[in-house]
Amino acid sequence: MTLPSDIPLGALISLLHRSHSNVLNARLKPLGLSAGQFPILLVLSRREGISQDTLARYFSLDKATIARALRRLEEDGFLCRRTVPGNR
């Protein structure tokens, strides 16, 4: 694919990101995962026991968003959450 040379760099980066997400989503769909869930599982595979709060800060997301993502991953059998004494 040849692109015009006058396309701004930001637009090219956006195009690359969308293309990558589409390919990743297509490959993860048979596993029951999405491109948005994959980075969370990747971090959890490297830092077992990381807290939801730390995970939210790592991805610059609010705690509720991470909690929903983790609940869904747990319901789908991709992870198992443990409670820490003194912390929900």
Which pTM does this prediction carry?
0.73
Q: Which residue has the higher pLDDT, 25 or 88?
A: 25
Q: What is the mean pLDDT of the chain?
A: 90
Q: How many residues does the chain have?
A: 88
- Enumerate domains of the chain plus CATH numbers: 9-75 (1.10.10.10)
Helical spans, DSSP H, in 29-84: 38-46, 52-59, 63-75
Q: Find the distance separating the first CA and the last CA of the chain, reported in whole Å.
A: 51
| Contact between residue 27 and residue 72 where contact means Cβ atoms under 8 Å apart | no
Scan for tokens 């491109």, then name that residue.
35
The whole-angstrom separation of Cα 26 and Cα 35 is 9
Cα–Cα distances (Å) from 54 to 25, 42, 61, 63, 69, in that order, read 26, 14, 10, 9, 14
Q: What is the pLDDT of residues 53-85, one digit of tens each?
A: 999 999 999 999 999 999 999 999 999 988 878
